[in-house]
Amino acid sequence: MPISSRIKDAMQNASWIRRMFEEGERLKKEVGAENVFDLSIGNPLLEPPEGLRKKMFDLLRNPEPRMHAYMPNAGYPFVRQKVAEFYTKETGIQFAAEHIVMTCGAAGGLNVVLKTLLEPGDEVLIFAPYFPEYLFYVDNHGGKAVVVKTNEDFSLNIVRVEEALSDKTKVVIVNSPNNPTGVLYGHYHMQALAEVLNEHQRKTDKVVYLVNDAAYRKIVYDGRRSTYAFSFYKNSIEVTSHSKDLGLAGERIGHIAVSPQACDVEALINGFTFCNRTLGFVNAPALMQRAVADFQFVSIDVQEYQKRRDLLFEALCEMGYQMVKPEGAFYLFPATPEEDDVAFVRKLQKKRVLVTPGIGFGTPSHFRISYAVPMQVLERAISVFDEVAREYGL
């Protein structure tokens, strides 16, 4: 076997999202893509804003010398400056270009952060339901993921956080707005989390970094705003991207922002820059850095996702499914009408609707629906959810 046993094992336990995606692809070949209603993968639906496309054309039509050459591994200083201005304006904390590292998406950024911070065996707290890739990212860099269950409404359970912290805890990852639940962690929970982490740091005399995966930060509904961990906890790091807010998932552009008040901020940035290079990313894509620099305050039309959230949430509630109303991102995470979420998902699959079982997110007896799909697909899927609800007598 050419591949290592570690990777073989990881692939065998591979993320449910991917597995369902592959099964869906097979089904599409069998019955035709137009006859499969795929709500299993979080591929952003909306195209990048028109102004951004124009910016890309302009960059290519009027190339600057060495525009495609290597650059500093942390990214172009002028782009880092623009990103820093965004955080200064949003948080009231003075960020500078030196607090930003441009990355290949949030996925690249999370790997850079974990590679830089973790000693072998260091623990990383993640909250279930979780984004499944966290398990692999932590393992990539010799860490140990410690899963902390959230409350019934998917809010943070601070008592469980306290119990899970140990003198090996180096990183806590929060993800708000959350994939798969759509929940936002508001001021109350962020404040409580910060207090527990501060107390833990005092007791152990060790620094714990709070990493906020904010990949969906700008996709929030009903006029809400996502909180910034920076405002509550000084050892905070935000990792994010423009995959969702500017519809650029395939272009791999994101960044890491470190709180100017964090311990050893200069060492952190130097470490992130080094790992960006040596993990093989080298630097974030040059053209995309230039393209997004002036689009820090822009996003796709969030109303388009909100319309879909409203339609789906109201329809499912009426049918008798149980769920928490999402406040952001583009997912719903209802309870399955039977305990076995895989069996439930297979039942939907037979009716050509693809969703992902909750077990893939560390939370069985639930299923995740991605509503980043065209309205016709959503409407057809809703009629199947209704048919299935009746079969279960909801």
Q: Residue 182 or 260: which CB sits closer to ligand PLP?
A: 182
Q: Give the nearest distance from C-beta 216 to ligand PLP in angstroms.
A: 7
Minimum distance from CB of 288 to ligand PLP (Å)?
12
Contacts of 199 (CB under 8 A, 6+ apart): none
Site of interaction with ligand PLP (CB under 6 A): 42, 105-107, 131, 175, 179, 213, 215, 241, 243, 249, 254
Which one, 134 or 388, has the nearer CB to ligand PLP? 134
* Shortest Cβ 117–ligand PLP spacing (Å): 17
Between CA 257 and CA 212 the distance in angstroms is 10
Is the Cβ of residue 102 or residue 319 nearer to ligand PLP in the bound state?
Answer: 102
Residue 200 three-state SS: helix
Q: Shortest Cβ distance from residue 68 to ligand PLP (Å)?
A: 22
DSSP state letters, 313-369: HHHHHHHT---PPP-BTTEE-PBPSSS-HHHHHHHHHHTTEE-EEGGGGT--SBEEE
**250 vs 320 by CB, closer to ligand PLP:** 250
Pull the structure tokens for residue 112: 């850079």
Question: How far apart are CB 43 and ligand PLP at their closest, in Å?
Answer: 8
Closer residue to ligand PLP, CB minimum distance, 355 or 388? 355
Torsion of CA 111, 263, 175, 295, to 10 degrees: -80
Measured from the CB atom, the residue of 182 and 337 that comes closer to ligand PLP is 182
Q: How far is the CB of 179 from ligand PLP (least distance, A)?
A: 4
Sign, Cα dihedral of 318, 323, 327, 330:
negative
Going by C-beta distance under 8 Å and a sequence separation of 6 or more, which residues neighbour residue 109?
101, 103, 239, 240, 241, 254, 255, 256
